[in-house]
Amino acid sequence: MKKIISIIGARPQFIKHAPIELASKGILDMVTVHTGQHYDHKMSQIFFEELKISTPKYNLQAGSGTHGVQTGKMLIDLEPILIKEKPDAVLVFGDTNSTLAGALCASKLHIPVIHVEAGLRSFNREMPEEINRVLTDHVSSLLFVPTKTGIENLKNEGITKNVILIGDVMYDMIKVAEAKGILTKDEDYGQFYYATIHRPYNTDKVERIGSLLNVFNSLPLKVKFSIHPRTFIIESFFSKEKILERI
């Protein structure tokens, strides 16, 4: 049985990892490493509990910090784990510092890297996530791409080998959650949009997040806005602006 180390650390990665772990039972020896990039209970432990996925074998407790500090700590802590476990491949998701640390550490140890959500691009190099996703794609041995556009993006960068269109793993998770009864449809299902904003590029300036909220407010249906801890900055915006009654 092939051993795969799955490196996760941020809220979306727990959700993306879940359907893959559930589908791999009896087929792969899946070892999970939690970097601790997200450590708040509502952004970490609650997902393992509700989605009924395995408790990570390792928790690096990287915590917060600058990009260099956070990524560097992950690299230092990941290396001995990968050397000890000797996996057949390392699985990473998305575009976080956990993604980049896992991909760099594995590639330097000559361990194949599998990247889920490869090929996505914002074409904005001011976003650290764009750097993470580009670098990860270029050291990956197997690239799982959610869209045809992603395949074209990789092709434009000279990456054409072992690129596989798989669709959206988040949609897979919705189907799993429905089957497990975790996700239910309320009486207002289909009558609203659901939104969250979390990338620093979109949350660090009140003007930028304010423009996003104004767009939400102009949509034909009301918006249920789940506030990421980083977006508490907008509370002052809400208190000043009374025009956001559709959010």
The residues annotated as belonging to the active site are 198
Cα distance between residue 72 and residue 59, in whole Å: 15
Tokens of 233: 């900055």
| β-sheet bridge partners, residue 32 | 6
Cα distance between residue 242 and residue 134, in whole Å: 40
Of residues 230, 172, 174, the one with CA closest to residue 201: 230
Kindly give the residue spans of alpha helices, DSSP state H, lying in the chain: 11-24, 45-51, 67-85, 97-108, 128-139, 148-156, 169-180, 200-203, 206-217, 235-240
Buried b (16+ CB within 10 A) or exposed e, 103-122: bbbbbeeebbbbbbbbbbbe
CA atoms within 13 A on the CB side of 132: 20
Cα distance between residue 127 and residue 142, in whole Å: 24
